[in-house]
């Protein structure tokens, strides 16, 4: 990085713009419409470091990647394209997990119904992200083939809870880096559903419904990719 690069102002992310501009934020929340998504937006601001008590324009500095450093999402593309490609790769895995779980013969009754329902919603996430990536001029990432331990219903549901909690944390981890408000809105809407999936599965498996307490904890891309690596067939 040159001295000139270091002096050049870092582009403002979508989350920072919405945090600092009440009019833009109002339009954004109106467009979202969903009460759940609006509530999730508040959680995103809190988790990403917004501090309304001290200043309406105060935010935690963006991650190093936002200021020019390398990020694991760069393997999928630069900037927002890489973030969408990263999210899409995770959605491919989630959709494949539910497909394999439903076909395993190990799930019965309500558990099978939930797996099929959640799997269908993950496929809708896939379609939405593929559309967003194509619209932005990006290339679809290679679709990974999942390998999941599908031993019995209890272990499958526990793994599903792990997958959904990680998915929600992954979206939260990228929220502060996204610069396009349309992509942020899509990520926010999906994050909300991932969190709801996680809450249901946490309840079913006897885990704490909200394991992080009042505010969800984000997960960076390096952490997420390391955790999903064992579930990708070589």
pLDDT at position 58, please?
30
The pLDDT profile of the chain, 234 residues, written as one tens digit per residue, is: 555 555 555 566 765 665 566 655 555 545 555 444 444 555 555 445 444 433 333 333 334 444 456 899 999 999 999 999 999 999 999 999 999 999 999 999 999 999 999 999 999 999 999 999 999 999 999 999 999 999 999 999 999 999 999 999 999 999 889 999 889 989 999 999 999 999 999 999 999 999 999 999 999 999 999 999 999 997
Nearest residue to 72 (alpha-carbon basis) of 177, 211, 156, 191: 177
Which superfamily is assigned to 72-231 in CATH? Ferritin, core subunit, four-helix bundle (1.20.1260.10)
* 109: exposed, middle or buried (Cβ count in 10 Å: 0-12, 13-18, 19+): exposed
What is the total residue count of the chain? 234
Domain ranges of the chain: 72-231
For the entire predicted model, the pTM comes to 0.76
How far apart CA 85 and CA 140 sit, in angstroms, is 7
Nearest residue to 65 (alpha-carbon basis) of 50, 47, 77, 49: 77
């Amino acid at each position: 990085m040159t001295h000139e690069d270091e002096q050049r102002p870092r582009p403002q992310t979508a989350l920072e713009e919405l945090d600092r501009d009440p009019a833009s934020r109002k339009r954004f929340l109106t467009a979202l419409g969903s009460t759940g998504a609006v509530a999730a937006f508040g959680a995103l601001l809190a988790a990403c470091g917004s501090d309304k008590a001290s200043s309406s324009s105060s935010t935690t500095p963006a991650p190093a990647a936002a200021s020019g450093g390398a990020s694991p999402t760069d393997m999928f593309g630069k900037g927002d394209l890489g973030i969408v490609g990263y999210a899409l790769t995770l959605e491919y895995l989630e959709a494949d997990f539910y497909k394999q779980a439903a076909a395993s013969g190990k799930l019965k009754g309500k558990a099978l119904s939930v797996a099929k329902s959640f799997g269908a919603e993950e496929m809708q996430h896939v379609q939405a992200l593929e559309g967003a990536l194509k619209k932005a001029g990006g290339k679809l990432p290679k679709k990974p083939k999942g390998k999941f331990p599908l031993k019995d219903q209890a272990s499958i549901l526990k793994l599903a809870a792990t997958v959904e909690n990680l998915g929600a944390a992954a979206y939260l981890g990228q929220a502060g880096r996204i610069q396009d408000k349309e992509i942020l809105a899509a990520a926010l809407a999906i994050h909300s559903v991932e969190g709801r999936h996680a809450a249901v599965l946490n309840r079913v498996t006897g885990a704490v419904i909200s394991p992080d307490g009042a505010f969800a904890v984000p997960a960076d891309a390096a952490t997420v990719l390391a955790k999903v690596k064992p579930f990708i067939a070589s």
